[in-house]
Amino acid sequence: MIYAANLKCNYTRSGFLEYARVLDRNISDQSVMVFPPSSAFLEAKFKFTQGAQNFYPAKSGSFTGEIGSDMLDEFGITTVLIGHSERRALGEDEPFLKAKFDFAKQNGWDIIYCIGEDDITHMNGSTKEFLCDQLENIDLEYENLVVAYEPIWAIGTGKSAKAEFIAEILDFISTKTTAPLLYGGSVNIANIDDIKAIKNCDGVLIGTASWDANKFLEIIKKD
C-alpha cells in the first residue's frame, strides 16, 4: 500500500522537521510519501519520500511566484502531485496540466496524477465520462505514474465515498491504465480498513487526517 500525505498549506520548515522526525522514527518498509508546502522542504534524507505539491514546467525563468525544477533539484525532489482539484480550482486547465505532466515525464519524475468529479457530475451519473476527459491528455502507460481518484465532493468534508462506489470507479480506471491507483477523499482511521480492502486500491492520498504525524502513523499501521 502507498500512503501519501498532502500537507497542503500547513507547516513551517521547523514544524515540518519535527513532523518528519516523528514519522521517520516509526515507519519501516512502508511506501510513504509526504507533500509539504515548498517553503518547508527539507534537505535531510528520511525513510519517506518528500514530494512537491506544485511546480512550474520549466527549469527556471520569468515566472513570478512559481517553483521550477532547479528549486526541486536542490532538495532532491523527484516526486510531484499534478491535477489536484484545489490547483484546478485556481485555474490549472487541461492544456497546462498536460504541460506539467509532459515536463515531469521528460525529467523521469514520479507523478501522482489526481482526477475527480464535483457533486453535480456525481449526482448526474457522469463520473466515468468526466474522468475519461481528465485522463485523455496524459500518457497512461508512463512507468512512473500513479493515478489518484479524489471525488471533489468528498475532499475535506469528513464524508468519504462508499466503498462500493470507490471500487466501481477504481475498477473502471484500471481498464484505462496499469498504473497503481490511490483513493483520496476524507480518508481517516475509521474508514481505512474498508478502503484498503478494495481490490484495485493500491493506496491512499490523505489530506486532513495526515496533518498530525501520529494520526497519519495510526492509519499507516492499521491492520
How does pLDDT run along the chain (223 residues), one tens digit per residue? 999 999 999 999 999 999 999 999 999 888 999 999 999 999 999 999 999 999 999 999 999 999 999 999 999 999 999 999 999 999 999 999 999 999 999 999 999 999 999 999 999 999 999 999 999 999 999 999 999 999 998 887 777 789 999 999 999 999 999 999 999 999 999 999 999 999 999 999 999 999 999 999 999 998 6
In this prediction, residue 157 carries a pLDDT of: 73
What is the structure's pLDDT at 155? 80
122 carries an active-site annotation? no
C-alpha cell at 216: 497519519
Can you read off the three cell numbers belonging to residue 89? 480550482
Distance of CA 87 to the CA centre of its chain: 12
Number of domains in the chain: 1
Could you tell me which of 222, 167, 176 has the C-alpha nearest to residue 200?
167
Please identify which of the residues 86, 92, 117, 150 carries the catalytic annotation: 150
| CATH number, domain with residue 60 | 3.20.20.70
The three three-digit cell numbers of residue 200, written as one number? 484495485
Question: 195, 183 in Cβ contact below 8 A?
Answer: yes
What range does the domain containing 128 cover? 2-221
Active-site entry in 84, 86, 117, 122: 84
pLDDT for 223? 63
**Can you give the pTM of this predicted structure?**
0.96
